[in-house]
Structure 1
Amino acid sequence: MAMLAIVPIMIATCIVLLFRFINQKYNPPIFGIYTRRNKYFWFKFVFMYVFLRAKQLYVHLKGLLAVELGNSYDGTKHIHEDDVALEQKHSLGDYSQSVDAVYFNGTAKDGVALVCGVARRPQFYCDAFMYVKVNGEDLLLSPELPDTRIKQTTLQEGHYKAGSICLTNLIPMRNWKVSYNGDMKYKNNPEKSVKVEMDLTWSAHWQAFKYDTDMSPLSMAKDMAREKWSADYFNVLKKFHQTHYEQMGFLTGKIVVDGKDHLINMPCVRDHSFGKHREWRNFHRYVLQFIYLENGDAMAIGAVSQPLMLSHVTIGYLCRNSDQAVLPVKGCDFQLWQHGENQIMPKNYGFTFKAGGKRYDVSIKVNDEDFFYIGKTREAKIYERWATAEVNGVRGWGCLEWQYNNVPAAMTQ
């Protein structure tokens, strides 16, 4: 009898909850760009989490099986043939927005730094640039900056070469060569140029973090569940998909500036991206933070906004020195709309993130910065910002990359 008395209460409660669900107020996007949770969020989150977790498990088991059957490159999972294929130069095909890009970003505790990239684009053009900072010198810039669009010479075609920059893979997922031989200009005196030569070797210290398979399903499912789903939406995700992976290591060698030798040994991240469509007009903005700590840890934490696909997605990973683990970020309170939405970028700020079951508190202090443009009509504006950092009381340093959509400005030029 007691159970029967509860039934009407349960029915009434369900009706009230259903009514509240049906009439739940719609939360409009922040600034008209960043979508928020709405009434179907939790249904979409559960579905997407299960899907992404199953996909991740499938890829993991497939890799283990390849090693077990002797199909890997040398019998170990982390350098089997799939990884070798990732490292090769990729065909741009007949796609007008295709891309095959390599990028390096290294910073030392004493302020020595290097940031460079070569993005191969159709018709033998490249988006390419180089920043170098050595002791006793002003920040040095490749001569084309702030523009980055460079036409390759006949000998450079098909390679990660543009202007005086040359990036060469030596051993897949192991070593790259970073070379430069030409003039560079000073940030604070751009009319003055100086001869720069470099012969550097990048060596891996951790395994690569592959964004297709290694991102946290929990974090990714939350970000995707905020978006409006439709057949067209998933078609757009498929169309604009790019393969992207990053790997932490060290950059060593010699840089010669105006005849003076500078020995280099610093932590450095490198990445590789390729795909059929990279349209900078689709990027509203992003922030990437590469941080290196005195205890040997390294991390890449950030957020990307492409409203056509994901208006706010948290990305990143932690490289833990104690056990060489590479751990995905499972949550971060860094929100793009709270930091520099109108290109008034904070010099001092902080955020927290979770990785490996632990919370990390990060504080950032920016010391120097410069900017450049990407695209034929300067569709994107990117700031490289060098900073000191502190993570859970451990001191560190790094480079922050802040990108903004520059299409309105480009249309007036």
Structure 2
Amino acid sequence: MFILATIFLTLGVFVALLSLFILILGRKSPLIFGKYPCKGLFYQLKYWIALAVLRRLRYRIYQRNEELLSSAPHLATLDRPQALSSDPKSYDVVSFLAANREGQKLLVTLERRRRGVLKAALYLWLPGEGLLCSSRLPDMAHFTTDGNTESSEFRGSGFYIYPEQSMRVWRLQYEGELRRVQTKELLSVKLDLQFSSSAAHFNYNRDLSSALIADSIAREAWNDRFYNMLKNVGHIVEKRTHYEQNGTLAGSVRLGERELKLELRGLRDHSFGTERCLSSINRYVYFALFLDDGSSMVLGNLSQPSFFLSSLKVGYVCSPQGLYQPITRCNFELYSYGEKGTPPRHQNFIVHTSERAYFVQIRVEDSALRYVGGDWESKVYNQFVACTVNGVSGQGLAEYLYRHKGGRPEAVSAQDPEWYQRIKRFERSLSNMEHTPEDDEEFVF
């Protein structure tokens, strides 16, 4: 009996201590502006736990499968336009960001969605001339089919982007109109560029610094919702693929009767999956900087509290030889830069990799606003910048995303195809709990 009592007492103490431990880890840290958690009392303990779990998870998903993941057939499958699934949130996005030492800058992004919907933006910044953009901006929605068929390419509304050689060469073409942002003048444009790269790709799920992710997770409250998310993290990772590859963009652009040759250094971004819910993102900031010594730097900070990432820093430094060094820490905090809704014109911050520190200075030369999401859930300020990193000059681009509650204006949505307007009415009826079974659509966008 004494032994049995001792066992029950020990178990009771263990359960009590475990409950206390879980309660402590579930405590909320103080929040800056009610959004961004500080390092709590048990931050360091949570950090080391998170780091150990992340390293184990990455080993299980990536490192022990490296031979398969780096094989030519797998990379070819990864790099081509993806078949959109039946999930209404299915997406496939390709983007190019590039600049040169003369100050010319280019941003192109195409996002494929169900039923042939294409979200597109093109910006071209020329020194002495200013900014040109695709004529439909700040709205990005284009419709490439009749709504009954799916697209299989990054193609439509004058755009055509496609791989010529997997993970090596992509072609970027556009024929249509660009608008001078300052004067509203429309110019006929024909753009034909080739992106080429001998560098590897930086996979955000695999290559992002575990220290950055552990830092973000350690600041959060480890409550029941957090543990439920952990149980499904493998499934969540499978739903999101995002990689970038550094390279060069070269070719020509005809503006009216004038033809320019472009030679730019830049990156190609490819993202696809089913978890791209802009309505859950509080803010993000993203920098892509291309330096005169041939190196480049990408830095971002994402705030998505519903996914237990209230302030997740991401990024890397890429050498002139195409080798990536993940950023391990940075003092760029969202609450210090444009928290009230207006992006700053100057930014200074320090970035660290495992090898060295970088002092980054940024000056904005021009900016433009566009809206993203089916109902303009977010707005993005695209900035075209000059920079200095450890004394080395460069050029680049930046994005500041904020929540937008104004909706998509009637004057814009009235131009949409009838089938798309019908879908949006159906979505609103769901939100207002007004729909009836006979009104059901097969697809919710």
TM range (shorter): 0.7 to 0.9
Alignment of 1:293-308 (within 5 A): 293-308=291-306
| Residues 179-213 of structure 1: per-residue CA shift (max 9 Å, x gap) | 001111110122x2111001100011421100010
Distance 1:80 1:280 in 2: 33
Shift of 1:112: 1.3
Structure 2 counterpart of 1:311, one-letter code = S
Structure 2 counterpart of 1:410, one-letter code = G
1:409 is matched with which residue: 377, 381, 406?
406
Checking the alignment, whether the CA contact within 8 Å between 2:117 and 2:145 is kept in structure 1 is: no
| Residues 150-171 of structure 1: per-residue CA shift (max 9 Å, x gap) | 1114699221113111111111
Distance 2:105 2:34 in 1: 37
Alignment of 1:114-263 (within 5 A): 114-134=106-126, 137-153=129-145, 157-190=151-184, 192-229=185-222, 230-234=226-230, 238-239=235-236, 241-263=239-261
Change (3 A) 1:122 1:400: same
Structure 2 counterpart of 1:185, one-letter code = R
The number of equivalent residue pairs is: 381
* Aligned counterpart, 1:95: 87
SS in structure 1 at match of 2:246: strand
| Residues 249-273 of structure 1: per-residue CA shift (max 9 Å, x gap) | 1100000110211001011111011
| Residues 11-63 of structure 1: per-residue CA shift (max 9 Å, x gap) | xxxxxxx99x9799953322221123234433332222112223444523432
SS in structure 1 at match of 2:339: coil
Shift of 1:135: 5.4
Q: Which range moves more in the overlay, 153-162 or 275-284?
A: 153-162
Q: Which range moves more in the overlay, 43-52 or 164-173?
A: 43-52
Distance 1:315 1:25 in 2: 25
Checking the alignment, whether the CA contact within 8 Å between 1:35 and 1:311 is kept in structure 2 is: yes
Alignment of 1:46-125 (within 5 A): 46-58=48-60, 59-63=62-66, 65-66=67-68, 77=70, 80-125=72-117
Distance 1:123 1:286 in 2: 28
Distance 1:342 1:278 in 2: 24
SS in structure 2 at match of 1:45: helix
Distance 1:337 1:175 in 2: 39
SS in structure 2 at match of 1:212: helix
Change (3 A) 1:359 1:231: same
Checking the alignment, whether the CA contact within 8 Å between 2:382 and 2:400 is kept in structure 1 is: yes
Q: Which range moves more in the overlay, 54-63 or 83-92?
A: 54-63
Shift of 1:132: 1.6
TM-score normalised by L of structure 1: 0.86
Distance 1:308 1:23 in 2: 18
TM-score normalised by L of structure 2: 0.80
Q: Percent identity?
A: 28
SS in structure 1 at match of 2:29: coil
Checking the alignment, whether the CA contact within 8 Å between 2:285 and 2:302 is kept in structure 1 is: yes
Checking the alignment, whether the CA contact within 8 Å between 1:384 and 1:400 is kept in structure 2 is: yes
Shift of 1:91: 2.4
SS in structure 2 at match of 1:84: helix
Checking the alignment, whether the CA contact within 8 Å between 1:24 and 1:39 is kept in structure 2 is: no
Checking the alignment, whether the CA contact within 8 Å between 2:25 and 2:42 is kept in structure 1 is: no
Change (3 A) 1:257 1:156: farther
- Structure 2, gaps ≥5 residues long: 1-19, 411-445
* Aligned counterpart, 2:437: none
- Structure 1, gaps ≥5 residues long: 1-17, 67-71
Checking the alignment, whether the CA contact within 8 Å between 1:284 and 1:404 is kept in structure 2 is: yes
Change (3 A) 1:26 1:324: closer
Shift of 1:236: 7.4
Checking the alignment, whether the CA contact within 8 Å between 1:128 and 1:162 is kept in structure 2 is: no
* Aligned counterpart, 1:11: none
* Aligned counterpart, 2:434: none
Structure 1 counterpart of 2:313, one-letter code = T
More helix by share: 2
Distance 1:23 1:86 in 2: 38
Change (3 A) 1:405 1:234: farther
* Aligned counterpart, 1:353: 351
Distance 1:105 1:350 in 2: 21
